Structures are given as structure tokens and as C-alpha cells.
Chains A and B, each alone.
Chain A
């Protein structure tokens, strides 16, 4: 079975400051890892994903994430956040071609 833990339910950060959103996963098989973003009153959209290869993955809007197999983590980072980054961020894990298991989400609030 797979599971995802997002360690912080809410993360406030000042504009132009760096941010890290933490995600840990559990799985007995190889996994694929995803970060999705949900802006207010919208659906989820893909930020980035890790399938294989380089452990540092770059996504849209200046976000990146690093896969760490030994620590079973896939933390999301951005060196300088903008007001427009205020949203809910979901980490997800998949093991095959179909369903994903989502974490409970982290609400990022960027403070002017």
C-alpha cells in the first residue's frame, strides 16, 4: 500500500522569501511522485512530476522538487515566492499507470 504525508497543513511566508513544502511517502514498490497546485475555486493542476532519472525536477512557475529515496521524501521548493503562489499544494504518489494517492494538502499563504 502507498501513503503520502504532508507534514505542514499551513505555511505562511513573506513575499520574495524562499519556501519549502514537505512531503514524505511510503511504498513497498517503486513510485512516481507528483506535486499538484489548486488555486482558489479551481481544480488541481500539475506542477511537476518525478518518474526516474535526475532526482531534481523542475516544474512550472519556478518550482522544483527533489526526490530523496533514502529519506522517502519529495519536498517542493521555490527560491522566491510571489503573491500569486498563494494556493493549496498537494503531493501525490503513484505506482502504475492509473490512480494516484494524494496527501492532505498544504495551504501556502504569501504575505505582502
Chain B
């Protein structure tokens, strides 16, 4: 099994530029999550989808952040314009809905640095 695949693994960009992070969930999984990890705030849930539909985006920090899931095998997280405080590791994760306690599987992360 290929696992959750994220790209790019590392991105360095200048302030004000648009950043697009990509994610391919595990085939057959119907939940997709975007998390952000920083030293100061730890692991934060930004948004999650069920069957390609956004369910909870209350963690999205500002209007500069947007996420889409056009189909079951692809999602993007976009930051426009980017700022230095957006520097973090962004994780995509997926899971298969079950009756209880399904495991969330994480990708390797996209390490974003905004200078």
C-alpha cells in the first residue's frame, strides 16, 4: 500500500507568493484531513473532508488559506499570499470511516518555509 502521498516534501518561498500543497489519500479512504504542526502550537487540525465535501474548516487560520478536494484521490491546500508565520509542517492524513475508532494515517508532511 502506497500510503498517503504529499508533495512537495520541502518548499521554500518568498513572502507574498502563492503556495500549493498536494495530497493523495490512501485509495478507498473517505476522510481526508489537513493538519499543521509548529513548535509553538503543536499539531492543529485545519480542515477535514468526508467524501470530498468539507465538513469542518474551523481550524483554517485566515482567508489566505483554502482547501479543495475535487475528487476522492486528490486534495490541495493553498496559501495566498504566504507569510513568514505560515512556516510549518503541513500534514495530510486519511481514514476509512468505520463504526468506531478508525485509524488516521498520515503522510510524510510538506515542510514549508516562507522567507
Contacts and interface: CB of A to CB of B under 8 A. Distances in A.
Interface of A: 32, 34, 36, 42-46, 49, 51-52, 90, 94, 96-100, 102-105
Given A42-B108, A43-B107, A97 B43 contact: no
B97 A97 contact: yes
B91 A100 contact: no
A42 B48 CA distance: 21
B106 A45 contact: yes
B103 A46 contact: yes
B106 A94 contact: no
B100 A49 contact: no
A100 B104 contact: yes
16 contacts: A36-B106, A42-B108, A42-B109, A43-B93, A44-B43, A44-B91, A97-B97, A97-B100, A98-B31, A98-B48, A98-B55, A98-B102, A99-B45, A99-B56, A102-B43, A104-B42
Contacts of B93: 43-44
A9 to B, nearest CB: 10
Contact of A43 (B98, B99, B101, B109): B109
Interface centre among B31, B91, B101, B104 (most CB of A within 10 A): B101
Interface string B76-98: 00000000000000010101011
A43 B42 contact: no
Contact of B102 (A44, A90, A97, A103): A97
A36 B37 CA distance: 14
